[in-house]
Amino acid sequence: MSDAMVAASASEATSGGTTQQVDVAVVGAGFAGLYLLHRLRRAGFTTVTLEEADDVGGTWYWNRYPGARCDIQTIDYTYTFDPELESGWKWSEKYATQPEILRYLGFVADRYDLRRDIRFRTKVTAATWSQAVERWMLKTDNGPAVSCRYYIMATGCLSAPKPPEIDGVKDFKGEIYFTGRWPHEEVKLAGKRIAVIGTGSSGIQSIPLIAEQAAHLTVFQRTPNFALPAHNGPAPVDRVTLLENDRVSYREQARMSLAGVPWPQQMAVSWQLSDAERRERFEKAWAAGDLVYILTQLWADQAVDVDGNALLAELFREKIRATVKDPETAEALIPYDHPFGAKRPCLDTNYYATYNRPNVTLVNLRQEPIKSITASGINTETRAFDADVIVFATGFDAMTGAIMAVHPITGRGGKSLSDVWANGPQTYLGLTVAGFPNLFMITGPGSPSVLSNMAVSIEQHVDWVVDRLIAMREAGFTTIEATEMAQAGWARHMADCSMLTLHRLANTWYTGANVPGKAQGVMPYTGGVGPYRSICNEVVGRGMLGFKLTGPNVAEQCNDGEIVRLQPDVRLVLNMLADLKLPPLESFGSQGLRDFVAQFNASRPAGRPVGEVLDGTLPGPDGPLPYRLYRPATPGPHPIVVYFHGGGWVLGDEQADEPFCRDMSRRTGMIFVSVGYRHAPEHRFPAAAEDAYAATRWIADHAGELGGQPGPVLVAGWSAGGNVAAVACQLAQDRGGPQIAGQLLVCPVTDCRFDRSSYNDNAAGYFLTRSLMYWFWDLYCSPADRTDPRVSPLRGKLTGLPPAFVVTCEFDPLRDEGIAYAEALAAAGVPVEQLQARGHFHSSFTMVDVVITGVSGRVQMAQALRRFAGLPPERKQGDEGVRPDRTAAPREISVAAG
């Protein structure tokens, strides 16, 4: 019998007061629950929605405090699934108030006749998976229990208010209100002494309005927040015009954007802009009064780099100082403890100016924490404040609270979700949990959720889930469950994504830090709405990768695996390259490929400022060789690193790896001299190797003239440059100098054998292909010469070589020969450290400011070079300490007897 038939026959039983049988049960009748119900019904599933409140609205039903408003522009915070619905409703303001949003949700419920399948005033008190019947059994506190095939939590991310965690609340004799559970009847605040605890969005929205009514308002602030003036009013004409001119593409761009609002990706990085340009951009954002705009549109590094962010945060602080008249109060209101955007910034109307009112006092709990609440008010450690009313704007047990704290959820084998999540939420795609078949979460932890325009994320989740249920029904499957492997892979991907942005640097409800004892970690997906959507689609495209599907009359299907193994930004870069649909690069010919690469490099970020960049030439074995020198801004003389660029012995020049050289010069505090060695096919083997050796020797001999420290130099190189760097070290040893203090080899070519597995595993799809490598080899070196250590240094004499730091990338044909070289050096008694970079590709570390997750690797490279040069380990660049990528720590190879 189909689920629908079971339900039809069971509806009689329901009216008899027994269990209600449905295909799908949904908890919550908010934004997500309503759309879910609509889609499920349209798809022919019998459905019941269980809702604790007595009407629809979810968040917008409960959060009725004064000033409650949406803080995404309402033209974006709206359903988009039905064009007729869109044209049937007109928002009155740029940011709608809570009553208007609630009216809208009521309008939606009426339009699709949704209320008839919603059981209001009904709380689910327990949900248990029955393996025997493959159904979820729900207990409720009102009316019949429910048996459903699928159970979907549309409970919202911020719906479980957090207890106040302050002693003495029960002793207070006055009125108490929670912003998240504001009464439906009018609350009379006029003429009263009011205390507000909390300065998150709810506090910041309500404080100005409460202040207007109160005899006196005392605000108890633990953490100051960044708040941007909303400049509310009619929806901005430019945005409305953009939408109305092409609604379909506007909505589509929103779906593929990072935050769910169609703003473009900013390209200019902060250090490319002058102070005046940055200020102009900031003022424009301030005037626009749009959180997504100010969070994404100032400069490309504002959300990913501590320095780029600090510039913005400081401009913000100036505004607070300029608005708040009392300097001490202004200082207390200024956030210093988190980067802008790492904690949810707020949108306000007159928030900071409210502190200029004579009837408002700010209490800085960082200086005088609350000791207790008494019968008459609030005592801090130094003062007592009398109050008639206390408003708790203290927030929510975010993301997991809304799912876990609602009721016990017991999955397969009696597993409790609370236990499974004891150390933090574990999910696959933020949608499902291994061990909990047929359970879905809408905008759960592990999905973009609260870091996005919720309306866009909700529609994507609902569509994905309902489409899967339809596909399962068509294929005869009745259960779906994420696999452990897929879930573990998603946790890794989440951790990788969390290194992209600065959210991990603040103690917030995003990380669970607002609830005492809660497990810590960034809970929302920080990789962006568009990338997330494409991953969900890819899961489907790859045969429901990471899910086990079963059904009574069909063979079990389990296509196990990890959906994203690449670092998130590497995935984006590779997708972008794939979209270019380039022919095999070798088909360009050597000059054609040089031109292509030069053009490609012209569009990349320029590289960060260094003290000085100098061009010169040095004598090579067969004529002058150009070099470019990057000097740090710190006082010299500095140690010198002789650097060799990548390009398969065929491409590139002394400027080709400019962003890498600049970055490494800044991080190491060393001079980098990048050498333009001769290229094939014009100059074949051993031209590049001999040039590299000659350049190293000359630079070592002229270190003083170059402003460097006399004494040993260091060498470094990437790819073919890593090859010639390794060879230069061997030649220096064979030929009696110069002295080399250490070698940094990044994805080096070390051998002419092509049968190591990385050559096959990564033969195509990761930009540097196997066939391109074959072509490079053919242009540079005849087969007869290939075993010569001057091109295959793995075959050279390794004993006594300088200490090495060898970097290899997981998705690189050259991976295994790099590892082999590190191991061979170690076996020969050379001190070696090795960084095997997970999820990275051949160009990860040289695509500075594009592959953000490459930072931690370069930090480690810089530290190694400093160790080799005998310098103290740390030169603070700002991002070292804050990007600890524990998964990518270098391993020291045990030194075997040479």
CB of 166 to ligand NA7, least distance (A): 5
**Segment interacting with ligand NA7 (CB under 6 A) among 220-228, 311-319, 378-386, 732-740:** 220-228
Among 14, 202, 432, 443, binds ligand NA7 (CB under 6 A): 202
Cα separation of 347 and 345, whole Å? Answer: 7
Sign of CA dihedral 313, 315, 319, 320: positive
Smaller CB separation from ligand NA7, 347 or 409: 347
Asked if residues 539 and 546 have their Cβ atoms less than 8 Å apart, the reply is yes
CB of 291 to ligand NA7, least distance (A): 10
- The answer to whether the peptide bond before residue 681 is cis (omega within 30 degrees of 0) is yes
Smaller CB separation from ligand NA7, 200 or 229: 200
User: In 3-state terms, what secondary structure has residue 202?
Assistant: helix
DSSP label at residue 430: T
Smaller CB separation from ligand NA7, 345 or 839: 345
CB of 518 to ligand NA7, least distance (A): 12
| Burial of 382 per CB tally in 10 Å (0-12, 13-18, 19+) | exposed
CA end-to-end span of the chain: 73
Question: What are the helix (H) ranges across 634-789?
Answer: 658-668, 687-701, 720-734, 757-761, 770-780
**Segment interacting with ligand NA7 (CB under 6 A) among 5-13, 391-399, 582-590, 716-724:** 391-399
365 binds ligand NA7, rule: CB under 6 A: yes
Smaller CB separation from ligand NA7, 200 or 789: 200
**C-alpha dihedral (313, 315, 318, 324), degrees to nearest 10:** -70
Contact characters 446-465, ligand NA7, x per CB under 6 A: ----x---------------
Alpha-carbon distances of 247 from 83, 254, 262, 683, rounded to whole Å: 9, 11, 11, 57
Alpha-carbon distances of 447 from 79, 125, 295, 501, rounded to whole Å: 19, 25, 19, 15
Cα separation of 850 and 323, whole Å? Answer: 37
Contact set for ligand NA7, span 757-796 (CB under 6 A): none
Contact characters 5-24, ligand NA7, x per CB under 6 A: --------------------
Contact set for ligand NA7, span 48-67 (CB under 6 A): none
Asked if residues 801 and 743 have their Cβ atoms less than 8 Å apart, the reply is yes
Sole residue written with tokens 């960049």 = 613
Cα separation of 607 and 301, whole Å? Answer: 12
Among 135, 344, 504, 858, binds ligand NA7 (CB under 6 A): 344
Smaller CB separation from ligand NA7, 395 or 748: 395
222 binds ligand NA7, rule: CB under 6 A: yes
201 binds ligand NA7, rule: CB under 6 A: yes
Asked if residues 156 and 400 have their Cβ atoms less than 8 Å apart, the reply is no
Cα separation of 504 and 526, whole Å? Answer: 10
CB of 224 to ligand NA7, least distance (A): 8
- The three-point CA angle 823-829-831 to 5° equals 75
Tokens of 491: 């946790």
Smaller CB separation from ligand NA7, 342 or 746: 342
Cα separation of 338 and 882, whole Å? Answer: 12
Minimal CA–CA distance to 400: which of 491, 499, 484, 521? 521
Instruction: Let me know how long the chain is.
Output: 898
- Residue of minimal Cβ distance to ligand NA7: 200
CB of 541 to ligand NA7, least distance (A): 32
251 binds ligand NA7, rule: CB under 6 A: no
CB of 369 to ligand NA7, least distance (A): 8
226 binds ligand NA7, rule: CB under 6 A: no
373 binds ligand NA7, rule: CB under 6 A: no
CB of 374 to ligand NA7, least distance (A): 15
- Write out the DSSP string of 720-736: HHHHHHHHHHHHHHHTT
Smaller CB separation from ligand NA7, 337 or 622: 337
Asked if residues 798 and 824 have their Cβ atoms less than 8 Å apart, the reply is yes
198 binds ligand NA7, rule: CB under 6 A: yes
CB of 197 to ligand NA7, least distance (A): 5
CB of 508 to ligand NA7, least distance (A): 7
Contact set for ligand NA7, span 169-188 (CB under 6 A): 179
Other CB atoms closer than 10 Å to residue 514's CB: what's the count?
A: 22
165 binds ligand NA7, rule: CB under 6 A: yes
Smaller CB separation from ligand NA7, 339 or 437: 339
DSSP label at residue 893: P
Smaller CB separation from ligand NA7, 331 or 368: 368
Smaller CB separation from ligand NA7, 59 or 438: 59
**Segment interacting with ligand NA7 (CB under 6 A) among 49-57, 161-169, 407-415, 646-654:** 161-169
200 binds ligand NA7, rule: CB under 6 A: yes
CB of 366 to ligand NA7, least distance (A): 9
Smaller CB separation from ligand NA7, 203 or 669: 203
Smaller CB separation from ligand NA7, 71 or 849: 71
Cα separation of 376 and 403, whole Å? Answer: 36
Asked if residues 819 and 834 have their Cβ atoms less than 8 Å apart, the reply is yes
**Segment interacting with ligand NA7 (CB under 6 A) among 43-51, 200-208, 657-665, 827-835:** 200-208
203 binds ligand NA7, rule: CB under 6 A: yes
Cα separation of 227 and 206, whole Å? Answer: 13
Among 47, 78, 199, 526, binds ligand NA7 (CB under 6 A): 199
Smaller CB separation from ligand NA7, 203 or 632: 203
Minimal CA–CA distance to 376: which of 196, 173, 195? 173
341 binds ligand NA7, rule: CB under 6 A: no
Other CB atoms closer than 10 Å to residue 730's CB: what's the count?
A: 20
- Write out the DSSP string of 665-687: HHHHT-EEEEE----TTTS-TTH
CB of 49 to ligand NA7, least distance (A): 23
Minimal CA–CA distance to 633: which of 673, 671, 689? 671
Sole residue written with tokens 């402003």 = 707
**Segment interacting with ligand NA7 (CB under 6 A) among 188-196, 216-224, 302-310, 414-422:** 216-224
395 binds ligand NA7, rule: CB under 6 A: yes
Sign of CA dihedral 594, 598, 599, 605: positive
**Segment interacting with ligand NA7 (CB under 6 A) among 98-106, 193-201, 704-712, 784-792:** 193-201
197 binds ligand NA7, rule: CB under 6 A: yes
223 binds ligand NA7, rule: CB under 6 A: yes
393 binds ligand NA7, rule: CB under 6 A: yes
CB of 507 to ligand NA7, least distance (A): 7
Cα separation of 832 and 825, whole Å? Answer: 7
Longest dimension (CA), the chain: 97
Alpha-carbon distances of 732 from 190, 627, 715, 740, 833, rounded to whole Å: 85, 20, 11, 8, 21
Contact set for ligand NA7, span 464-523 (CB under 6 A): 509, 514
Strand order in the sheet with 193-197: 175-178, 389-392, 193-197, 216-221, 360-364
166 binds ligand NA7, rule: CB under 6 A: yes
843 binds ligand NA7, rule: CB under 6 A: no
Smaller CB separation from ligand NA7, 347 or 640: 347
Smaller CB separation from ligand NA7, 95 or 220: 220
394 binds ligand NA7, rule: CB under 6 A: yes
Residues found near ligand NA7 in the complex (CB under 6 A): 158, 164-166, 179, 197-203, 220, 222-223, 344, 365, 370, 393-395, 450, 509, 514
